[in-house]
C-alpha cells in the first residue's frame, strides 16, 4: 500500500504510519487494520491479521494521554496497572488492568486495542461499564462517544472507525474479581466489578456473554442469562456471579 493521501509509505516491511488522525481515518476507510501494541492482532489466540493484509501503525499519533478520567487509546495496560491515581480513584479499573494477561503482555497491549478487539473475556469491560465509561471513537463524521457496553455489544453496525480514547466516568470506591480455569494468567470464565455510588452499588459481570451484563446488586442475578460455552455452563457462570458479587457486596457496604 502506498497511500496518496497521508501516511508514510511502507518500507522494509513497515506498514504506513499515519501522521494525523485525519490521515489515519482515510486509511481505515480504505480497509487498513489499525495496530498499536499488536498484542491482540499478533496473537494466535485471536482472529489475526491475514497475511498480505494492510496494517496501519497508530503509534506515531501519540494517543498516550494518561490523565484520568481521560485515557488515550495508546496507553498500555502496564501503565494503567501502575498508575497511582487510577488505583486510588478508580480501583475497580486498576485491579482489572492488573489482572489482564501477564506483565509482559501488558507492556505491549494498549487500552485502545483492548477495547477495539472487544474480546468477550476482557477483564476491563465490566470494570469500565461500572463507572459508566464511554468509548471515544473517530469516524468520517467526526468524534463521538458511546457507553462501553454498547460498543462491546455492537459487532458490525459501527462502520469504519478508530478508537481514540476512553472517558472513565466519575471516580468511585470499587473492586474487581475474576474466576478463571487455573491460577495465574488465563482467560476469565466470569468476572464481576462493583462500585459504590452514594448509597447504591453498581455491579457488572464480564466474560459471561459478548458484552458485559448488568448485575442486580440485590439479587446478584443478571437480566440476560450468562452464556453457555465449552468452558462453563450458564448455570455455573450465574453461580460464579453470585459468589463474586457477594464478596464485593461485603467489601463495599
Partner 1 sequence: MTNAAPTTTPRPVPGDTPSDRSLAHRLRADGATSVKIGCEEGACGACTVLVGGEPLPSCLVPAWRHSGPVTTAAEVAATPFGHHLARSLADHGGLQCGFCTPGILVTMVALVESTPSAGVDDVRNALRSHLCRCTGYRAIVDAVVTAIETRS
Contact residues for partner 1 (CB under 8 A)?
A: 10-15, 35, 37-39, 41-45, 48-55, 57, 101-105, 107-108, 184-185
CA distance 57 to 38: 10
In whole angstroms, the minimum distance from the beta carbon of 66 to partner 1 comes to 18
Which cell is 138 given?
473517530
Name which of 12 and 155 has its Cβ closer to partner 1. Answer: 12
Please tell me whether the peptide bond between 89 and the residue prior to it is cis, using omega within 30 degrees of 0. Answer: no
Name which of 81 and 86 has its Cβ closer to partner 1. Answer: 81
Name which of 45 and 251 has its Cβ closer to partner 1. Answer: 45
In whole angstroms, the minimum distance from the beta carbon of 89 to partner 1 comes to 24
Name which of 147 and 187 has its Cβ closer to partner 1. Answer: 187
H helices present in 58-176, as ranges: 77-82, 84-89, 91-98, 103-108, 111-117, 124-130, 148-153
- 129 within 8 A of 204, measured Cβ to Cβ: yes
In whole angstroms, the minimum distance from the beta carbon of 60 to partner 1 comes to 12
CA distance 166 to 187: 23
CA distance 144 to 223: 28
HSE value, Cβ hemisphere, 13 Å, CA-based, for 206: 31
Name which of 182 and 219 has its Cβ closer to partner 1. Answer: 182
CA distance 171 to 195: 9
- 51 within 8 A of 41, measured Cβ to Cβ: no
In whole angstroms, the minimum distance from the beta carbon of 62 to partner 1 comes to 16
Name which of 43 and 234 has its Cβ closer to partner 1. Answer: 43
In whole angstroms, the minimum distance from the beta carbon of 53 to partner 1 comes to 7
In whole angstroms, the minimum distance from the beta carbon of 13 to partner 1 comes to 4
Amino acid at each position: 500500500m502506498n497511500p496518496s493521501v497521508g501516511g508514510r509509505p511502507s518500507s522494509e516491511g513497515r506498514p504506513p504510519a499515519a501522521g494525523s488522525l485525519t490521515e489515519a481515518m482515510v486509511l481505515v476507510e480504505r480497509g487498513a487494520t489499525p495496530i498499536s501494541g499488536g498484542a491482540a492482532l499478533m496473537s494466535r489466540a485471536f482472529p489475526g491479521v491475514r497475511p498480505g493484509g494492510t496494517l496501519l501503525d497508530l503509534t506515531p499519533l501519540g494517543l498516550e494521554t494518561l490523565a484520568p478520567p481521560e485515557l488515550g487509546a495508546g496507553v498500555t495496560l502496564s501503565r494503567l496497572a501502575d498508575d497511582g491515581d487510577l488505583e486510588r480513584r478508580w480501583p475497580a479499573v486498576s485491579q482489572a488492568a492488573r489482572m489482564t494477561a501477564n506483565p509482559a503482555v501488558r507492556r505491549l497491549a494498549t487500552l485502545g486495542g483492548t477495547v477495539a478487539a472487544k474480546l468477550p473475556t476482557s477483564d476491563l469491560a465490566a470494570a469500565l461499564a461500572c463507572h459508566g465509561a464511554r468509548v471515544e471513537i473517530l469516524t468520517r463524521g467526526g468524534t463521538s462517544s458511546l457507553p462501553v457496553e454498547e460498543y462491546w455489544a455492537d459487532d458490525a453496525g459501527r462502520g469504519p472507525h478508530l478508537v481514540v480514547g476512553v472517558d472513565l466516568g466519575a471516580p468511585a470506591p470499587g473492586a474487581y474479581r475474576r474466576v478463571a480455569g487455573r491460577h495465574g494468567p488465563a482467560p476469565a470464565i466470569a468476572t464481576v466489578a462493583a462500585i459504590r455510588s452514594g448509597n447504591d452499588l453498581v455491579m457488572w459481570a464480564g466474560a459471561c456473554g459478548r458484552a458485559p451484563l448488568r448485575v442486580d446488586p440485590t439479587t446478584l442475578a443478571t437480566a440476560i442469562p450468562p452464556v453457555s460455552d465449552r468452558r462453563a455452563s450458564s448455570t455455573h457462570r450465574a453461580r460464579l456471579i453470585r459468589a463474586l458479587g457477594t464478596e464485593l457486596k461485603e467489601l463495599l457496604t
